[in-house]
Amino acid sequence: MHPQLEVLLQIQDLKAQKRELEEAGGGRQVQEEQFKLDVPAALEALDGKIEELEGDLDPPVRRRYERMASGITRVVAPAINGTCYGCFVSVATSVASDRSERNSLRSCDNCGRFLYFVS
Ligand SMILES: [Zn+2]
């Protein structure tokens, strides 16, 4: 997998975790007491990690990521059998099956999400 894609996937996962925590922290105080989780501190730790990872992105990737991140929660989508699962439009399979292309950072022509190919 492309190293930048790994970073993007980690950011995406941390952000999903953050959303879950925010929802849990807002509505379910019981959970916080049960698990002795300091939600604000946990959110801060996640934010710090997200920022750190964003710093690992190459400038052009980061610009593209930031443009998307404001409107889309999942900036990385799987492509299965040549279809982008972010927008369900097929991506060029001739390109998708090319080995060198698989190892490069690709994004969907239609929705702009970064793609990882699941075979
Ligand atoms: Zn797409």
For the segment 2-9, the average pLDDT, to the nearest whole number, is 94
For the segment 25-44, the average pLDDT, to the nearest whole number, is 70
Distance 52 CA to ligand 1 centre (A): 27
Q: Is the pLDDT of residue 23 over 90?
A: no
Distance 111 CA to ligand 1 centre (A): 4
Residues that place a CB less than 5 A from ion ligand 1: 84, 86-87, 108, 110-111
Q: What are the distances in angstroms from CA 57 to CA 25, 31, 63, 77, 91?
A: 30, 35, 9, 17, 24
Distance 51 CA to ligand 1 centre (A): 25
**pTM of the predicted protein model:** 0.81
> CA-to-CA distance for 5 and 112, rounded, in angstroms?
14
Find the angle CA(110)-CA(103)-CA(60) to the nearest 5 degrees.
60
For the chain, percent of residues with pLDDT exceeding 70: 81
Distance 112 CA to ligand 1 centre (A): 6
